[in-house]
Structure 1
Amino acid sequence: MPLSLINPRTFRGTRDFLPNELLARHRILETIEEAYRRYGFQPLETPAIEYLEILTGKSEENDKLIYEIKRARGEEEESAEAAIALRYDLTVPLARVIAQYAELPRPFKRYQIQPVWRADRPQPRQGRFREFVQCDADIVGTDSLLADAEIIALTYEVLRDLGFENFRIRLSSRKLLRGIVSIIDSRDSMFMPICRIIDKLDKIGDDGVKRELVNLGIGWDKTVWAFDYVRTGFDSCRFNDIRVYLEANDQSGMGVIGLSEIEKVRLHALNLGVPETCLACDPTLARGLDYYTGPIFETVLPDHPHIGSLSGGGRYDGLVSTFSKERVPATGTTLGLDRIQTALTQLGKFKPMSSTTQVLVARFDAEGMSECLQMAAELRKAGLRTEVWYDDDKLKKQFAYADKQGIPLVVIAGPDERAKGTVALKNLRKQEQKEVAREGLVEMIKAWITSEPDV
């Protein structure tokens, strides 16, 4: 009895990346990685699988989205300490690494580009998936707000280099937010619930935030007044007016500290070359993760609000203390590769690539295969990306393949060319063909490629 066929499919919220898309994604990653290295960040990789106790307790929202892993048969018995799961971000594993490897330098500037997993509802139009790639850059081991400003400047340069034009880096502080919330409700227990609701503002709008605050027993009018006063002050850069307001109304004293942080980070970022038009102080920026302690920031596209944030991060001075008695300050950001690709696609700036091959060595006849293989070996040794045609097919089929794959050059060595010690070199982009000396082939191709920077 024949075996039944298995339906080939992918799990909802995950994707295959075929070569034409993956090659273009690699170009995005090259741009991001080059900027990270330019700022002195060093690479790090951590396992996809972490112990569950490492991941939980850092964010109430993310705890609900963790993919736990069922162990294979024969492995150690399940227990609370032995339970494992897929990581949901790269920041918590970094905190573990800092606590685990005392020999790392301080400050430690690391970048990490790896996939993470969240049991979230997929929203492809917004670039939200269950499996996605985060591109993190963090500075660990310094309290200096220069580090936060450098993260913002790095974010600006990455997005600029990727071709984004109209984007805004929103800046605030968890301390400022704590001060504003204390004006609305002085109970410490209400800070994170209110933060999580404010963080949904872009998703559910004023009406949705109002509804959730009212359900929490928080007065809407008082909330609007507090946030609008601070936001209006930011819009006109009246920091002194905001300071006077906070000193008179915030009994916690945290708001003034947070305002000072924002002023300093903003000034440093401007001095690092971030245009003032790209930087917006916004008191409604909350960042939903529980572990943020100071400046927070994220990047949005005002003309494409449905996409959400392209990047987000902030200072998290207490996270490493989860794994160590040592207090280790830290700040950083993450850029979402899939969000960035989605945004570039919708802006018409994500261009799929057929192939990175530069030369196809065509097969004219069986007698010339030795010559073809020798040419391919020479071209590859010279650093040229080269394919060889395997089968005994007509040249028309081979040219059609090269054209479809975007391979610009085809080399042909028929019996006439072999007898004369020459080859035919066809440029498919210019639709030109010339006969060149066999010994000058590599130099001829290199010269043409040098004149065409996108090859």
Structure 2
Amino acid sequence: MSNKLSTQPYKGTRDFYPEEQRLREWLFAQLRRSVSQYGYEPYDGPMLEPFELYAAKTGEEIVNEQLYSFSDRGDRKVAMRPEMTPTLARMVAARANQLAKPIRWFSIPNLWRYERPQRGRLREHWQLNVDLLGVEGVEAEAEVVQVAIDLLRNLGAGPTDFEVQINHRQLMNDLFDKVLKLSPDQTQNVAKAIDKRAKIPVESFHELLTAAGCSQAQIDTLEKFLASPLLEIPAICGESEGFKALCRFFDIVNALGLGPVCRFNSSIMRGFDYYTGIVFEIYDQHPDNRRALFGGGRYDNLVGMFGGAQIPGVGFGMGDVTLRDFLDVHGLLPELAADTEVLVGLFSPEMLVPSQQMARHLRAAGLKVEAVLQPQKLAKQFQYADKKGIPLVVMVGPDEAAAGLASIKDLRSGQQVSISQSELLARLQVMLG
């Protein structure tokens, strides 16, 4: 039996070597820039939360099957966060009377779920969370959906690359209660079946409905509802506040010119138990990646479960794994070179201090500079710089040092020049653009 430790990361997680880390930092910077344009401020919370925080409102599947939970040394049951919204609600509730409203916050937390790793799903991921709290009307949903659309557009997505599909939980509750007249247990099972509908054959969908106790007449009514455009819904459901809210929402997004990427879809349910109003999911339209990228919705009762006043909220969570897949299939991933701009080479051991002094001088002027620490053949130093994507190499030998000169080699063009050390900084700045 071998005692060697595995070099592989824990299943469902990733190592981020410098090239992957560069891409992640670039992506997070783009996301922060986009949400900041709308006035959203960053926040964060702890990785561990009390288990009951998630047991109270997070979806049953996550709590029972996907939550990383354990008892700490004080015998307190805790969990690694699988989502950020419960932490957000707890933090807002703690300072509800002090916070200026509406509250516009965002975060990019590290999240954990014990899932079966597959395309678009890992056990550990980062997720952009964007939340707007303190606004009761659909104006809040309209802004949050705008943010989601602009995030993708700012990353280079075109008008036909994605679609926002929208529904309303109250509309579905009216269907379940007033039209289908389902029991609470039936409602939960039928909602789960609708959530799976797009991923399974029609026969399997009907089997789930039959198993939930639905009659053939109820199944026919449900199928008619799910196939109906928004303006035909009242003929099935009658008066519904959910329908009115959806009409108001679409009036706003159409007036803003966002109607072409927004569509009513009564199959959108969202799995979390805390959603109370409009829910939405953003779908990739690329044939190689037709799937939900991310989603969100309204949660008006989550903050109030901590004992204070209810504060309505709307938000979404965008995972980095599905977002990266989206950028990849649409050819939107950039090629990012290392940030280092200059390598100060080392001609000989005697030149260590002068080369270090030169590197310090260039760094003090704002350049990103790496310095060779041990002497080696000049060809190897150039090869090293080329492999790391460092465009310029500065060398100073004893004779050049005595004459106050330095040589610059541009690895992009292959050209090499000798220049006065007093002019070195200015020349490097010009060459770097």
Whether TM-score is above 0.5 comes out as: yes
User: 1:355, 1:282 → 2: CA distance?
Assistant: 44
User: 1:220, 1:368 → 2: CA distance?
Assistant: 87
**2:155 equivalent among 150, 155, 162:** 162
- What is the TM-score when the length of structure 1 is the normalising length? 0.88
**1:85 equivalent among 60, 75, 79:** 79
Q: 2:202 is matched by which residue type in structure 1?
A: D
Shift in Å at residue 259 of structure 1? 1.5
**1:153 equivalent among 136, 140, 146:** 146
**2:207 equivalent among 197, 204, 211:** 211
Equivalent position of 1:261 in the other structure: 245
User: 1:26, 1:201 → 2: CA distance?
Assistant: 36
Given that residues 51 and 77 in structure 2 are in contact (C-alpha distance below 8 angstroms), is that contact kept between their aligned partners in structure 1?
yes
Shift in Å at residue 205 of structure 1? 4.1
392-401 vs 61-70, greater mean Cα deviation: 61-70
User: 1:220, 1:417 → 2: CA distance?
Assistant: 91
Aligned ranges 1:118-267 → 2 under 5 Å:
118-123=113-118, 125=119, 127-165=120-158, 166-182=161-177, 183-219=179-215, 222-223=218-219, 225-229=221-225, 231-234=227-230, 239=231, 241-247=232-238, 253=239, 256-267=240-251
- What is the TM-score when the length of structure 2 is the normalising length? 0.92
Aligned ranges 1:14-413 → 2 under 5 Å:
14-58=13-57, 59-64=59-64, 65-71=66-72, 75-76=73-74, 78=75, 82-102=76-96, 103-123=98-118, 125=119, 127-165=120-158, 166-182=161-177, 183-219=179-215, 222-223=218-219, 225-229=221-225, 231-234=227-230, 239=231, 241-247=232-238, 253=239, 256-274=240-258, 276-304=259-287, 306=289, 308-351=291-334, 353-413=336-396
Shift in Å at residue 419 of structure 1? 3.1
Q: Deviations over 1:61-119 (max 9, x none)?
A: 22121111242xxx32x2xxx21111110001111111122322221111011111111
Shift in Å at residue 408 of structure 1? 1.3
152-161 vs 96-105, greater mean Cα deviation: 96-105
Structure 1 residues 322, 413: CA separation in 2 closer, same or farther (over 3 Å shift)? same
User: 2:392, 2:181 → 1: CA distance?
Assistant: 70
Shift in Å at residue 47 of structure 1? 0.4
Structure 1 residues 414, 106: CA separation in 2 closer, same or farther (over 3 Å shift)? same
Given that residues 206 and 219 in structure 2 are in contact (C-alpha distance below 8 angstroms), is that contact kept between their aligned partners in structure 1?
no
User: 1:313, 1:138 → 2: CA distance?
Assistant: 9
User: 1:172, 1:325 → 2: CA distance?
Assistant: 29
User: 1:197, 1:305 → 2: CA distance?
Assistant: 25
Structure 1 residues 401, 189: CA separation in 2 closer, same or farther (over 3 Å shift)? same
Equivalent position of 1:449 in the other structure: 432
Given that residues 21 and 352 in structure 1 are in contact (C-alpha distance below 8 angstroms), is that contact kept between their aligned partners in structure 2?
no
Given that residues 229 and 264 in structure 2 are in contact (C-alpha distance below 8 angstroms), is that contact kept between their aligned partners in structure 1?
no
User: 2:425, 2:11 → 1: CA distance?
Assistant: 48
308-317 vs 341-350, greater mean Cα deviation: 341-350
User: 1:55, 1:149 → 2: CA distance?
Assistant: 28
Q: Deviations over 1:147-184 (max 9, x none)?
A: 11111000011111112231011111111222233423
Given that residues 66 and 117 in structure 1 are in contact (C-alpha distance below 8 angstroms), is that contact kept between their aligned partners in structure 2?
yes
User: 1:13, 1:220 → 2: CA distance?
Assistant: 42
Structure 1: runs of 5 or more not aligned: 248-252, 451-455
Q: Deviations over 1:118-155 (max 9, x none)?
A: 111111x2x20111111100011221211111110000
Equivalent position of 1:453 in the other structure: none
Structure 1 residues 427, 225: CA separation in 2 closer, same or farther (over 3 Å shift)? farther
Structure 1 residues 221, 404: CA separation in 2 closer, same or farther (over 3 Å shift)? farther
Q: 1:264 is matched by which residue type in structure 2?
A: R
User: 1:206, 1:447 → 2: CA distance?
Assistant: 65
Q: Deviations over 1:403-447 (max 9, x none)?
A: 111111111122343233222222212222222331222222223
Q: What secondary structure is seen at the aligned counterpart in 2 of 1:57?
A: helix
Structure 1 residues 228, 245: CA separation in 2 closer, same or farther (over 3 Å shift)? closer
Structure 1 residues 262, 227: CA separation in 2 closer, same or farther (over 3 Å shift)? farther
Structure 1 residues 226, 431: CA separation in 2 closer, same or farther (over 3 Å shift)? same
User: 1:447, 1:218 → 2: CA distance?
Assistant: 74
Q: Deviations over 1:41-78 (max 9, x none)?
A: 1111100000111121212122121111242xxx32x2
Given that residues 180 and 227 in structure 1 are in contact (C-alpha distance below 8 angstroms), is that contact kept between their aligned partners in structure 2?
no
